[in-house]
Amino acid sequence: MQIGIVGLGKMGGNISVRLTRHGHDVVAYDRDPAVTAKVCGQGEGGRCTPATGLADMVGKLSGRKIIWLMLPAGEVTEQAVQELDGLMGKGDIIIDGGNSFYKDDIRRATELAKKGIDYVDVGTSGGVWGLERGYCMMYGGTKEATDHIDPILSALAPGLGDIARTPGRDKPGFDPRAERGYLHCGPAGSGHFVKMVHNGIEYGIMQAFAEGFDVMKSKNSTELPENQRFDLNMADIAEVWRRGSVVSSWLLDLSAGALAGNPDLSDYKGDVADSGEGRWTIEAAIEESVPVPVITASLFTRFRSRTGNNFAEKMLSAMRFGFGGHIEGTNN
């Protein structure tokens, strides 16, 4: 298939390259021409064509036009959707693969439908590792539109891999795509809603790891009786937990890697940003009268980290950098 990709940052660029590796043709655009040229140079088989802007991109797409936006949530994405609304026509598809607020998706889909343009929201998880590992995707939109772009989503998804199948999934009623790492969640907005909650959960898991390692690191405190002090090796503990422990996970893998490279995490200040999804998850919980104390506490801890931090916040920074290349002091 042919698709336009707008925004060639840490994920958008890798998405473009991965699609060319699976035989899809990409028209790519980034506001920095040098980035566009670099990504197109990495595309395989000459399948990545540069565009100089949205109008140029639309002109280079043929047939039913598909454009994937991989831009920061908020005004930047809103402006791009509005511009494409004036450039695209009936049957065309706009995909938002960023982390937009799901209520914005519902509004956009309703407005675009008046012109016959389909809108699909794709919550995309995979960070800087997606080029090789693939991306876990949760998406919302009409069945017709999402079925049409299934070859694109299938190419980006991780596939079955070597993960053991869940017992009982051979029964009717389950979507087989979920086992391959992508899922049609429902109408427009549902994909980003599920990804929003996913990121809220991520906040809580990361916070638990960070606090636990901080407790262990502080066990040699001079405030404790001497016979109760332990000088524990954080890197070794993270490593042993990776091997058969019930808390083994990708986030633990990233923590182990960070600690092995820099045991005291001195490369990190611990100023932990939040990119919005944690806040939105809490807002949704309030609307639904659902208690989410762990996610709420983890968000508030990120707020506090920006006024002074400890080893726990450095652990959070290390994990965020590990999975997404997030730099301290930004919301990216």
Instruction: Give the active site residues.
Output: 195, 202
Residue 77: what residue type?
T
- Produce one character per residue of 117-134: b if its CB has 16 or more CB atoms within 10 Å, e if not: bbbbbbbbbbbbbbbeeb
Q: How far apart are CA 135 and CA 16, in angstroms?
A: 12
Find all residues with CB under 8 Å of 88, minimum gap 6, and list them.
Answer: 58, 65, 67, 94, 117
Instruction: Annotate 303-315 with three-state secondary structure.
Output: HHHCCCCCHHHHH
Q: How far apart are CA 108 and CA 104, in angstroms?
A: 6
Q: How far is CA 165 from CA 47, 51, 162, 206, in A?
A: 34, 42, 9, 26
Tell which residue, 209, 150, 223, 224, has the closest CA to residue 183: 150
Q: How far is CA 157 from CA 3, 83, 191, in A?
A: 16, 29, 15
Please, are residues 27 and 51 in contact by the beta-carbon 8 Å criterion? yes
Place of tokens 């659902």: 290
